[in-house]
Amino acid sequence: MERERDMRLIRPMLRRFCADKKRLPLKISLIYALFGVLWIFLSDSLLEFVFTDPHWHYRGQTLKGWIFVLVSAGLLFGVIEHYRRALFRTEESLDELVQGVSAATGEAFFSLLTQSLCQALKADYAFIGELTGENNSRVRTVAVYSPEAEVENFEFVLAGTPCEQVVSRGLVSLPADVGAHFPADSLATKLGVTSYVGIPLFDAEGRVIGPMVVLSRRPLEDQNLAVKMLKVFSLRAAAELQRARSEKTIEYMAFYDPLTGLANKRLFLDRLEHALPQARRAQRFPAVLFLDLDRFRNVNDTLGHAAGDQLLKEVGRRLQLTLRKDDTVARLGGDEFLILLPNIRQAEDAAQVAEKIIAALRLPFDIHGFELHLAASIGIAIFPFDGETTDGLLKNADTALNRAKELGRNNFQFYLAEMNESSLSRLGLESQLRKALERGELRLHFQPQYEVAGTMLVGLEALLRWEHPERGMVSPAEFIPLAEETGLIVPMGEWVLRQACAQNRAWQLAGFAPLRVAVNISARQFHQYDLVRLVRNVLAETGLDPQWLELEITESLIMQDSQGAVQKLSQLRELGVQIAIDDFGTGYSSLSYLKKFPIQTLKIDRSFVKDLSRNRDDAAIVDAVIALAHSLGMDVVAEGVETVDQLHLLHGKKCNRVQGFFFHPPLPGEAVTLLLEKLSTARDEGESSLLCSAL
Ligand code: C2E
Ligand code: MG
Ligand code: MG
């Protein structure tokens, strides 16, 4: 028993002694010398004991010499051969490893390397990993090998593992007791790992991008060889890992939008192309939704591109949350998005999704501390009815989108055959509109505004008209949105402002009582960087006193960027011009919010005035608006007054000014001159007003 225990202690010592190839020649010499000394002592004592006869003793001595030579030669051969074979084996496996590995690239390289490392070092596991996650706190393996079983790639948290030390300090070599050193490393504990060698892999800039590791459940036969092999292959492994990462990035950039992380057009088309034949087989009707954000440009123009980018990211996130996993959301560029719904059974499903999207985007966005309101227009094309090819579907969804925009935005439209024609006419309209300004086809009409109590003409609203050579008078409702979109509104708006101020000044110079002229300013114009300078210059050029100019802006325009709007409006106010909010009640603003803005006039939208006498709700809204506006020191103008009933009601509600077809439609300049002449003669003749009869 005791002997057995001794052997159990001695055997590993012996094995370690033999395995350690340090000072190999000295060891062989020592073994040889020890064997020689033992032989001399033992053989001499034996000879003396066995042979007493001197003749036989002499013979025995000779034989002993021969036996020593033969046995020691045999032993020497055995020892040297053992080491030679071991050396040869290592060389051979290294050679194989280098040859095999150097021919491979990418994934093949990683799996071959891990496999060869395991085989050459007789290790149980080898893996190559890359750092991922926030602050590189995790490792994801790109290749794992175990000779015993097939192991899938896995991911683990770096903290508390020997790999953490590899990443932070460099090479780690632990011949034994890995579990005891790293009790928190559950994976190592689970696998029963004893030996560990790990080396960091660096990218070209010297940053650690991952570890390369060899693990074993028994102590590695040759820990030093493991360290050397990892050192030899770490450079190549790092280069391959970096290459794989760059390839991934390039692939990502080729198929994804870097800003939002959504698919790009290429990936979208790819998915659409795959979806079409599948849909045919499965009797599905994939839908393509083309989405455009309304008024997004204003955000970029006013809050800057960083805010714009943030908003786009948010929109992308909301779209993804609204849609299902098998739907694809792609960003086409700018504020345009494409959505593929591959599993639609009927058109109504697509409509439902579009509605859901519009509702999701209608909720305010909190961007850099600003509450922004967005709206979206969506065009829908359904396979195979609206197109049988990817190109056809995209084109028709785009056409449907344009129709949605024409219909006042914030809505969705299906593609219909006749839409193609209307979009062609739109294209024609755009190029004609560009020429309208140069050809002098724009006209300015003026709609008179009366004071409701005094029944006196107090102002004129300048309204743009386009005298088209073939189509006659074109309504601004038709071309202002197009002018906004194309940017033509800027030179057009400048023309209107100059024309309105010049005309007003001309009437004053002609001796008529001074009136205030109101000019509509659209979003694009308002956000124009030099609007204040333009107004100042036009006033100076025309000689009009600023108090006779009123600028009408819409509430949604100021709500988009309230901070910027307050600043710009204050600068305009400093010039001395009046500011009015047009179409009040159609946007999202609250009256209390308006306190912040330097506004003198609120124009109640026509839609509230229309049913004033029949609709109690509208009457209540008008009451509230008037009361609140007055409490904020603002005047109220009612638009679209068409009947005497409406006028009476507004009079009773203490509305300040009125305007509408009941008095006059928008009139050409000459007609206004005639009206002014008529009014001034009436005044001279003592008639209090032309309107007395009406009230
Ligand atoms: P708005 O500023 O609200 O102008 C009032 C619109 O209501 C005008 O339409 C006017 O003709 C119409 N209107 C006035 N009284 C009545 C009425 O009693 N009943 C009805 N049914 N309608 C009435 P218009 O001239 O077609 O202009 C439409 C819109 O186009 C304007 O709405 C304004 O937003 C825009 N617009 C017109 N001229 C310009 C301009 O020079 N610059 C800009 N940026 N926008 C303009
Ligand atoms: Mg107006
Ligand atoms: Mg209006």
Q: Which has the closest alpha carbon to 499: 445, 553, 572? A: 445
Q: Is residue 607 located within the same domain as residue 511?
A: yes
Question: What is the pTM assigned to this prediction?
Answer: 0.49
User: How far is residue 363's CA from residue 384's CA, in Å, rounded to a whole number?
Assistant: 33
Q: How far is the CA of 147 from the centre of ligand 3 (A)?
A: 79
Q: How far is the CA of 442 from the centre of ligand 3 (A)?
A: 20
Instruction: Assign 147 to helix, strand or coil.
Output: coil
Nearest CA to ligand 1 atom 45: 520
Length of the chain, in residues: 695
How confident is the model at residue 591, as a pLDDT? 62
Q: Is 584's pLDDT higher than 80?
A: yes
Q: Is 651's pLDDT higher than 80?
A: yes
Q: How far is the CA of 607 from the centre of ligand 3 (A)?
A: 10
Q: Is residue 382 located within the same domain as residue 331?
A: yes
Q: Is residue 393 located within the same domain as residue 514?
A: no
Give the model confidence (pLDDT) of 676-686 as tens digits. 999 888 877 76
Nearest CA to ligand 1 atom 4: 463
Q: What is the mean pLDDT of the chain?
A: 86
Q: What average pLDDT does range 54-69 have in this prediction?
A: 84
Q: Is residue 550 located within the same domain as residue 635?
A: yes
Burial of 396: CB neighbours in 10 Å, binned 0-12, 13-18, 19+? buried
Taking the CA of 449 as reference, the closest ligand is 1
pLDDT class of 693 with cuts at 50, 70, 90: very low
Q: Is 1's pLDDT higher than 50?
A: yes
Nearest CA to ligand 1 atom 21: 640
Q: Is residue 12 part of a domain?
A: no
- Confirm if 195 and 219 have CB atoms less than 8 A apart: yes
- Confirm if 199 and 212 have CB atoms less than 8 A apart: yes
Nearest CA to ligand 1 atom 22: 640
Q: Which has the closest alpha carbon to 430: 494, 489, 495? A: 489
Q: How far is the CA of 535 from the centre of ligand 2 (A)?
A: 17
- Confirm if 597 and 569 have CB atoms less than 8 A apart: yes
Q: Is residue 502 located within the same domain as residue 365?
A: no
Give the model confidence (pLDDT) of 197-208 as tens digits. 999 999 988 999
Q: What average pLDDT does range 412-436 have in this prediction?
A: 68
Q: Is residue 541 part of a domain?
A: yes
Q: From residue 164, how far is each of 113, 193, 212, 356, 619 by CA, in Å?
A: 22, 16, 12, 46, 72
Q: How many helices (H) and strands (E) does the chain have?
A: 25, 23
Last residue of a domain, one of 58, 90, 122: 90
Can you tell me which atom of ligand 1 is nearest the CA of 444? 41
Q: What is the CATH number of the domain that holds 342?
A: 3.30.70.270
Can you tell me which atom of ligand 1 is nearest the CA of 489? 44
Taking the CA of 476 as reference, the closest ligand is 1
- Confirm if 517 and 501 have CB atoms less than 8 A apart: yes
Q: What is the CATH number of the domain that holds 579?
A: 3.20.20.450
Looking at residue 362, its amino acid is R
pLDDT class of 225 with cuts at 50, 70, 90: confident
CA dihedral defined by 141, 146, 149, 152, rounded to 10 degrees? 10
> Which DSSP string corresponds to 623-650?
HHHHHHHHHTT-EEEE----SHHHHHHH
Residue ranges lining ligand 1, Cβ < 6 Å: 447, 463-464, 475-477, 480, 493, 496, 520-522, 552, 582-583, 606, 639-642, 660-661, 666
Q: Is residue 557 located within the same domain as residue 622?
A: yes
Can you tell me which atom of ligand 1 is nearest the CA of 483? 44
Q: Is residue 438 part of a domain?
A: no
Q: Of 77-86, 112-121, 309-318, 323-332, where does mean pLDDT reach its minimum?
A: 77-86
Q: How far is the CA of 534 from the centre of ligand 3 (A)?
A: 23
How confident is the model at residue 424, as a pLDDT? 47
Q: How far is the CA of 406 from the centre of ligand 3 (A)?
A: 18
Can you tell me which atom of ligand 1 is nearest the CA of 661? 18
- Confirm if 155 and 138 have CB atoms less than 8 A apart: yes
Give the model confidence (pLDDT) of 457-499 as tens digits. 999 999 999 998 888 888 888 888 888 877 788 899 999 999 9
Q: Is 17's pLDDT higher than 80?
A: no
Residue numbers of the domain that contains 70: 25-90
Can you tell me which atom of ligand 1 is nearest the CA of 662? 18
Q: Is residue 425 part of a domain?
A: no
Instruction: Assign 521 to helix, strand or coil.
Output: coil
The two three-digit tokens of residue 384, written as one number: 């195979």
From 520, 602, 661, mutation site for ligand 1 pocket: most ligand atoms within 8 A of C-beta: 520
Q: Is residue 381 located within the same domain as residue 512?
A: no
For the chain, the domain total comes to: 4
User: How far is residue 329's CA from residue 265's CA, in Å, rounded to a whole number?
Assistant: 10
- Confirm if 608 and 546 have CB atoms less than 8 A apart: no
Q: Is residue 215 part of a domain?
A: yes
The two three-digit tokens of residue 242, written as one number: 């970096």
How confident is the model at residue 75, as a pLDDT? 82
Task: Choose from 80-84, 281-285, 380-384 the range with maximum mean pLDDT.
Answer: 380-384
Residue with tokens 């996130």: 317
Percent of the chain predicted with pLDDT > 70: 91
From 639, 657, 663, mutation site for ligand 1 pocket: most ligand atoms within 8 A of C-beta: 639
Give the model confidence (pLDDT) of 630-641 as tens digits. 988 999 999 999
Last residue of a domain, one of 191, 222, 255: 255
Helix axes 489-509, 531-542, angle to 10 degrees: 30
Q: Is residue 488 located within the same domain as residue 620?
A: yes
Taking the CA of 477 as reference, the closest ligand is 1
pLDDT class of 420 with cuts at 50, 70, 90: very low
Q: What average pLDDT does range 89-105 have in this prediction?
A: 74
Q: Output 140 or 250, whichever has higher pLDDT.
A: 140
How confident is the model at residue 56, as a pLDDT? 83
Give the model confidence (pLDDT) of 137-181 as tens digits. 999 999 999 999 898 999 999 999 999 999 999 999 999 888 888
Q: What is the CATH number of the domain that holds 219?
A: 3.30.450.40
Q: Which has the closest alpha carbon to 265: 276, 274, 273, 257? A: 257
Nearest CA to ligand 1 atom 20: 640
Contacts of 604 (CB under 8 A, 6+ apart): 584, 585, 622, 625, 626, 636, 637, 638, 639, 655
Q: How far is the CA of 600 from the centre of ligand 3 (A)?
A: 15
Last residue of a domain, one of 396, 415, 434: 415
- Confirm if 609 and 644 have CB atoms less than 8 A apart: no
pLDDT class of 368 with cuts at 50, 70, 90: confident
Instruction: Please confirm whether the linkage preceding 384 is cis (ω < 30° from 0).
Output: yes
How confident is the model at residue 692, as a pLDDT? 39
Taking the CA of 462 as reference, the closest ligand is 1
Burial of 644: CB neighbours in 10 Å, binned 0-12, 13-18, 19+? exposed
How confident is the model at residue 107, as a pLDDT? 85
Query: Cβ of 333: how many Cβ atoms within 10 Å?
Result: 11
Contacts of 300 (CB under 8 A, 6+ apart): 307, 308
Residue with tokens 């966005």: 365
Q: Is residue 470 located within the same domain as residue 611?
A: yes
For residue 380, list its beta bridge partners. Answer: 289, 414
Q: Is residue 109 located within the same domain as residue 185?
A: yes
How confident is the model at residue 614, as a pLDDT? 86
- Confirm if 535 and 572 have CB atoms less than 8 A apart: yes
Residue with tokens 């990817």: 390
Q: How far is the CA of 187 from the centre of ligand 3 (A)?
A: 70
Query: Cβ of 382: how many Cβ atoms within 10 Å?
Result: 24
Give the model confidence (pLDDT) of 600-628 as tens digits. 999 999 988 998 888 888 888 889 889 88
Q: Is residue 576 located within the same domain as residue 544?
A: yes
How confident is the model at residue 97, as a pLDDT? 72
Nearest CA to ligand 1 atom 8: 463
Q: Of 14-23, 78-87, 228-237, where does mean pLDDT reach its minimum?
A: 14-23
Q: Is 588's pLDDT higher than 80?
A: no
Q: Is residue 346 part of a domain?
A: yes
Going by the DSSP 8-state scheme, the letter that residue 256 receives in this structure is B
The two three-digit tokens of residue 260, written as one number: 């939002």
Instruction: Assign 121 to helix, strand or coil.
Output: helix
Instruction: Print burial letters for 351-368: b (CB count within 10 Å at least 16), e (below 16).
Output: bebbeebbeebeeebebe
Q: Which has the closest alpha carbon to 288: 356, 325, 328, 340? A: 340
Q: How far is the CA of 439 from the centre of ligand 2 (A)?
A: 25
Give 124's Cβ-side CA count (13 Å radius): 13
pLDDT class of 7 with cuts at 50, 70, 90: low
Q: Is residue 248 located within the same domain as residue 269?
A: no
Q: Is 315's pLDDT higher than 70?
A: yes
Helix axes 419-439, 476-486, angle to 10 degrees: 80
Q: Is residue 97 part of a domain?
A: no
Q: From residue 226, how far is each of 112, 113, 216, 219, 229 by CA, in Å?
A: 16, 13, 11, 12, 5
Q: Is residue 395 part of a domain?
A: yes
Q: How far is the CA of 461 from the centre of ligand 1 (A)?
A: 9
User: How far is residue 52's CA from residue 91's CA, in Å, rounded to a whole number?
Assistant: 55
Q: Is 533's pLDDT higher than 90?
A: yes
